[in-house]
Amino acid sequence: MTVRTGNSKRVAFNGILLALLVITMYLASLLPGLKTSLLTLSSFYIALVIIEFNILNGWIFYLASSLLLLIVLPNKLMLIPYVLFFGVYGIVKFYIERRNKIVVEYILKILYFNIFFIPLIFFGGKLFFSNAIDKFPMWAVITALEVVFIVYDYIYTLFIRYYIQKVKSKIKI
């Protein structure tokens, strides 16, 4: 009986997070002014799955969410940043931070960020970054995005810490 209860809780928790993710991504596709903020929010759900269960469930959540969004999201272009970066970042962060060497961690995180964003800037710059590509030199755009990424990663870490310290014990999954 305990195994079923555990599985039921996991399925329910993941289902709720998937529903919240679909809502978040749907709003991101409808509200261009909030796109970046909502994409950022969409990346936090997977961290909760990893914290509550394990990395394998994180991978399953990521794959299920990517497939579900492919089916229900009206703006399929929103899948590109989610599938290639925001959706999987919690998993990448998990693996990188197991090293417990902050300098190496940030080098690997920035490397991961650049592997995704630099090709995106060159091939879809105007589509995803509006006029910034035309107004500023490429090195300035990339540097600014790397700084924003470091802030994003720090906020992500604060979110995880807050959830573990303040929320996890109260919801008892």
What SS3 state is found at 54? coil
Q: How many other CB atoms are there within 10 angstroms of residue 85's CB atom?
A: 19
Length of the chain measured in residues? 173
> Could you write out the DSSP letters of every residue in the chain?
-HHHHHHHHHHHHHHHHHHHHHHHHHHHHH-GGGHHHHHHHHHHHHHHHHHHT-HHHHHHHHHHHHHHHHHH-S-GGGHHHIIIIITTHHHHHHHHHTT--HHHHHHHHHHHHHHHHHHHHHHHHHHHHTTHHHHS-HHHHHHHHHHHHHHHHHHHHHHHHHIIIIIHHHH--
Task: For residues 42 and 36, give the distance between their C-alpha atoms in angstroms, rounded to a whole number.
Answer: 10
Task: For residues 62 and 56, give the distance between their C-alpha atoms in angstroms, rounded to a whole number.
Answer: 10
Which phi and psi angles does 131 have, rounded to 5°?
-95, 0
pLDDT of res. 1:
42
What domain count does the chain have? 1
Per-residue pLDDT 10s for the chain (173 aa) are: 445 566 888 899 999 999 999 999 999 988 878 888 999 999 999 999 999 999 999 999 999 999 999 999 988 888 888 998 999 999 999 999 998 899 999 999 999 998 887 777 666 555 555 565 667 777 787 888 899 999 999 999 999 999 999 998 888 77
Task: For residues 89 and 101, give the distance between their C-alpha atoms in angstroms, rounded to a whole number.
Answer: 18
pLDDT of res. 119:
74
Which structure tokens are listed for 120?
Answer: 């995106």
Domain, as residue range, for 97: 2-171
pLDDT of res. 164:
93
Which structure tokens are listed for 124?
Answer: 């879809």
pLDDT tens-digit map of 33-44: 888 899 999 999
Yes or no: say if 86 and 38 are a contact pair by the CB < 8 Å rule.
no
pTM of the model: 0.86
Among candidate residues 119, 39, 23, the one with its CA nearest the CA of residue 86:
39
pLDDT of res. 43:
95
